[in-house]
Amino acid sequence: MDYEKRILEEVLSLRPVFWENKRKQDISILNNMELSYDDIVDAKKRLERFAPLIKKLFPETEDGIIESPLIEICDMREEIEKTYNKEINGRLFLKCDSHLKVAGSIKARGGIYEVLKHAESLAIKENLLSLDDDYSKLSDEKFKKFFSNYKISVGSTGNLGLSIGIISAALGFKVTVHMSRDAKEWKKSLLRQKGAVVIEHSEDYSKAVEKGREECLKDKRAYFIDDENSKDLFLGYSVAALRLFNQLKKEGISIDDKHQLYVYLPCGVGGAPGGITFGLKHIFKDNVHCYFVEPTHSPCMLLGLLTGKHSNIHVKDFGIDNITEADGLAVGSPSKLVCEIADKLIDGIYTIEDDELFKLLFLINQSEKIKIEPSAAAGLLGPAMVDSDENAIHIAWATGGLFVPEDLYSDMIQKGKKFLNK
């Protein structure tokens, strides 16, 4: 039996797997892609133009740039080594998108970026804004009145909906978030508090996206943010690579042939990890190794790549239920845009069981006093699964957790402690 058929059998049996992407190409493949480094830089500049507005609307950002810290987690590294009986070569860092201001998750990158770009486009089209203006004026009442004539809609398992809902409502848009059955109740409540309309669906993420798309087709003033195919979301995420380069530089870390970078990215539909991978490959070339992480019960990206069908699959086609506590990763079908890029750029994918997510969530709370949600814990196991040397830099990308209510978080901690002691 060949390698990929064996991996597929394991996936279908709901067992955790580590898949090495033998189809990965060298960095020259970037020259043949529709999107380019210039597109990433353009997105970065747009976010900088909006910084005065973000600072005014969300003073907690201080400078109007929504960015997260990069923290070395030495104690957590020791806990992983002890718990999983595997030595980790090199240094381990946490990229704390779990603590991104405004929306509290990685979706604050792509989601907020796409809404801002749409707002900019509308205002410029009506001659209300020019690229040289101070964008803080977009918070004026006349702009809120202007944006209130337009609708924004999105389908989400939770975190993308939060980012879209919060920024859209703050600007004055009428915003509707279609939430799948996996979405947590507290996320729905927070969205309603922020002024978004939340429509609940009894089916999964794919159906929520479909309903959101259908709604927008009926209204020429409605704009649908398509998590499955949006290039703007993708580019918003990709800006993280430019920011990470500067953070590593401040740490005195250079990435080169002798100092390789390993990045572990939780994956749902694929937009966030795909965009970040795209940016990282442009910055660090072949010296960065990117791995996606999926729950064993929602391995849509891995199935799409293993079968070669890309986005034309749903995990239920293979008898997999798509039910996981990692709500941000509870996605049945992967992004077509990201599948085509990931097939050539990522180094691999590993899958993880829910029990392990809670264990890791507990361990990082105990060792580092850092609060994350189950989805965000997925990348922490990565350094124990790859072979690297003592010069390696490992980054687990924490994708959400800041806004989790304390009582629910306490329950998660207890659950993680219970699984650890089994």
Work out the burial of residue 147: count CB atoms within 10 Å of its CB; fewer than 13 is exposed, 13-18 middle, 19 or more buried: buried
The Cα 179–Cα 198 span in angstroms is 7
Q: Please state the rounded mean pLDDT for residues 352-363.
A: 98
- What is the reported pLDDT for 321? 96
In angstroms, the CA 128 to CA 369 distance is: 46
Q: Is residue 1 very low, low, confident or very high in pLDDT (cuts 50, 70, 90)?
A: low
Beta bridge partners, 178, equal 155, 199
Residue recorded with tokens 């009894």: 202
For residue 376, pLDDT beyond 70: yes
Residue 11 pLDDT greater than 80, yes or no: yes
Residue 274 has pLDDT above 90, yes or no: yes
Please determine, for residue 30, whether its predicted confidence score (pLDDT) is greater than 70. yes
pLDDT at 216 over 70: yes
Q: Give the pair of three-digit tokens for residue 234.
A: 């993708």
How high is the pLDDT of residue 326? 94
- Residue 255's pLDDT is 98
pLDDT at 128: 97
Q: Does residue 91 carry a pLDDT above 90?
A: yes
pTM over the 0.75 mark: yes
**Residue 120 identity (one-letter amino acid):** E
pLDDT at 370 over 80: yes
Write out pLDDT tens, residues 293-318. Answer: 999 999 999 999 999 999 899 999 99
Average pLDDT, the chain: 95
Could you read off the pLDDT of 111-151 as tens digits, one per residue?
999 999 999 999 999 999 999 999 999 999 999 999 999 99
Please name each of the domains of the chain with its CATH number: 3-103+232-421 (3.40.50.1100), 106-227 (3.40.50.1100)
User: What is the percentage of the chain residues whose pLDDT exceeds 90?
Assistant: 90
Which pLDDT band, with edges at 50, 70 and 90, does 217 fall under? confident
pLDDT, mean of residues 318-340: 94
Average pLDDT over residues 225-229: 88
Range name among 67-81, 102-116, 122-136, 192-206 with the lowest pLDDT average: 192-206
pLDDT at 49: 98
Contact 277, 341 (CB under 8 A): yes
Residue that has been written with the tokens 């990692």 in this structure? 326
Which of the two residues, 249 and 158, has the higher pLDDT score? 249
Measure the CA–CA gap between 303 and 301, rounded to whole angstroms: 5
331 vs 158, more confident? 331
Rounded Cα–Cα distance for residues 110 and 237 (Å): 5
How do residues 153-198 score in pLDDT, each as one tens digit?
998 888 999 999 999 999 999 999 998 887 889 999 999 999 999 9
Burial class (CB in 10 A: 0-12, 13-18, 19+), 83: middle
Share of the chain above pLDDT 70, in %: 100
d(CA 215, CA 126): 25
